Amino acid sequence: MGLTDYRTLLIDCDGVLVDRDSGVWGALQPLLANRPGAHDKDQILNEYSEVIGSLYPRFDELGFSGLLCFALRQLAERWGVKASWEDGMTFARSVPNWAVFEDAPGAMLYLRKFYQLVVCVDRDLEDRSVLCERLGLAPENLLSLAGSPLDRTHWLTEMDIDPADTLLLSRPPAQRLASGGLCLIRRARAEHRQPCLADVCINSMADLVRQHQLSLRR
């Protein structure tokens, strides 16, 4: 299927619309300042992803802010540095300040003319209004990842969305939907050297808009 054949875009928020890596990296600096030695950004972010992934089964219990609090504490233990619960809360409350990629708001404005947009987020309720304002979205466009796992699509059908007509936009690595398409947004240059393991691989949301415009002209 081509870009113009899909009816719904299911969009991962972090890494596609929001620069999660820069946000986490910046918020970890107070903790890293107490850790001796050099700090490799990719390694630090990989450790964060491992820790937050291990905590994710407790999302319903803790909420996203709670996950981040526990994640900071676990990272501190790994690195042999001290972190208080206040430090954890400061880290968790950095989320509303994570930067939106410059091309995201304009791309969303364009794409909603052609698709139904559903953005997958793991934000707490109090942070969603800020995200909607920054991206020009209505609250009903946001979908919690906790209750809508991407490895199953029954919830799409319950929303009157045909999974086969749905294109998932995510950062690599990403798991393909049971049906429908996968578009990888490969913003990092190193990712461009890897083979494209999706239906579509592009560089940014702005590139997606350009590719869609080209598809309309064909």
**Rounded percentage of the chain residues whose pLDDT exceeds 70:** 94
pLDDT over threshold 80, residue 186: yes
Q: How does pLDDT run across 97-147, given as a tens digit for each residue? A: 999 999 999 999 999 999 999 998 888 888 888 899 999 888 888 887 665
For the chain, residues classed under CATH 1.10.150.750 are: 20-97
Is 197 strand, coil or helix? coil
Mean pLDDT of the chain: 88
Q: Which residue(s) pair with 9 in the sheet?
A: 117, 167
Q: How does pLDDT run across 10-25, given as a tens digit for each residue? A: 999 999 999 999 999 9
For the chain, residues classed under CATH 3.40.50.1000 are: 3-19+99-217
Q: Topology of 20-97 in CATH? A: DNA polymerase; domain 1 (1.10.150)
pLDDT over threshold 70, residue 153: no
Q: How does pLDDT run across 36-78, given as a tens digit for each residue? A: 877 899 999 999 999 999 998 888 888 899 999 999 999 999 9
The beta-strand segments (E) located in the chain are 8-12, 116-121, 142-144, 166-170, 181-185, 200-202
Q: Which residue(s) pair with 153 in the sheet?
A: none
CATH of 3-19+99-217, one of 3.40.50.620, 3.30.70.270, 3.30.2290.10, 3.40.50.1000: 3.40.50.1000
